Amino acid sequence: MSIKYVHKPETIQEAVELLYQYKGKGKIIAGGTDLVIEIKNRKTNFEALIDVSSIKEMSFIRIENGIVEIGGATTFTEIAKSKLLSSRLAGLKEAAHSIGSPQIRNKGTIGGNICNGSPAADTVPPLLALDAVAVVKSKHEEREVLVEELLLDKGKVALRDDELLVSVKFKNPSHKEILSFSKLGLRKALAISRICTSVFIEFDEEKICKEIRIANGSLGRFGMRERETEQFFKDKVLNEEVIEEGVNFMQQQVAKRLAGRSTVEFKSAAVKGVLRNALNNAINFNG
């Protein structure tokens, strides 16, 4: 099917009306950094593009009542450069800054990063570690769903054809909490292999890790939380010895998950360094 129509709605309501009207044959485009490649490769089965990049109510970063909300069409550059997002959210800002090139960061959006469903989407692990929720809208309904629950499989997210990801929301970290990020390799190295890890930690006064959420990208069919490794670190002081034991634990988890794949040896070894970095970035945070 070839693309016959391109729409540029100015409001969310107009966009969801269009999605409804096309009954599965309308496709959202935001920055186009993934979709245009798909279209060039002729992997399309829709007749209309609905361009949400000019919808102002989808491009914002705000904090209200301790909740951070980022519009789905907010670009990586806006996130990376945001002065509103505190340095305690370094993990999200660094993830956005690590993406592609300046051109890609100027165009690519956080909504597109999630909805494209790539296992290597860099903003997904920080959002998982933040326990972020996505606000999703269709013509007749608005719902909130954990970003984690949106990720079904490689390239597959739990959004209906008529649904738009309007924003993502999460709790603003307190002075005891920190989100960090670490990434191995550049996109050019994607064919070889690439891993990114984000860690959210809440320390108590004794520097004990009261709460920890760890999420990885490129270590499965979609970005995922590492709950067994989280349990390993919880209620411990993260000294060098504990970190070493923990990264070895993670290595075994990854080796089990990727068993039989050609990348298992490289990835299970490499994840140790990436997790160690993310943990040290959180521990050594000086905000």
Span from 24-32, 248-256, 264-272, 273-281 in contact with ligand FAD (CB under 6 A):
24-32
Using CB atoms within 10 Å of the CB of residue 188, give its burial: 0 to 12 exposed, 13 to 18 middle, 19+ buried: exposed
Site string for ligand FAD, 178-207 (x = CB under 6 A): ---------x--------------------
Nearer to ligand FAD, 120 or 209 (CB): 120
| Shortest spacing between CB 122 and ligand FAD, in angstroms | 4
For residues 23 and 179, what is the distance between their CA atoms, to the nearest angstrom?
39
Among 174, 192, 195, CA closest to 184: 195
Q: Residue 116, interface with ligand FAD (CB under 6 A)?
A: yes
- For residues 138 and 16, the answer to whether their CB atoms sit within 8 Å is yes
The tokens of 231 are what?
């349990």
- Residue 89: left (phi > 0), alpha (psi -120 to 50), or beta? alpha
| Shortest spacing between CB 177 and ligand FAD, in angstroms | 24
- For residues 159 and 114, the answer to whether their CB atoms sit within 8 Å is no
The interface with ligand FAD within residues 85-104 (CB under 6 A) comprises 99-100, 104
Of the residues 12, 16, 18, 28, which one makes contact with ligand FAD according to CB under 6 A: 28
Bridge partners for 186 per DSSP: none
Site string for ligand FAD, 36-75 (x = CB under 6 A): ----------------x-------------------x---
User: Which amino acid, 18?
Assistant: L
The tokens of 205 are what?
């006064």
For residues 216 and 61, what is the distance between their CA atoms, to the nearest angstrom?
24
| Shortest spacing between CB 100 and ligand FAD, in angstroms | 3
Give residue number: closest CB to ligand FAD: 112
Among 11, 46, 4, CA closest to 28: 46
Span from 31-39, 59-67, 199-207, 267-275 in contact with ligand FAD (CB under 6 A):
31-39
| Shortest spacing between CB 207 and ligand FAD, in angstroms | 32
Among 9, 44, 51, 59, CA closest to 28: 51
| Shortest spacing between CB 167 and ligand FAD, in angstroms | 9
Which residue ranges make up the site for ligand FAD (CB under 6 A)?
A: 27-35, 52, 72, 99-100, 104, 107-109, 111-113, 115-116, 118, 120-122, 159, 164-165, 187
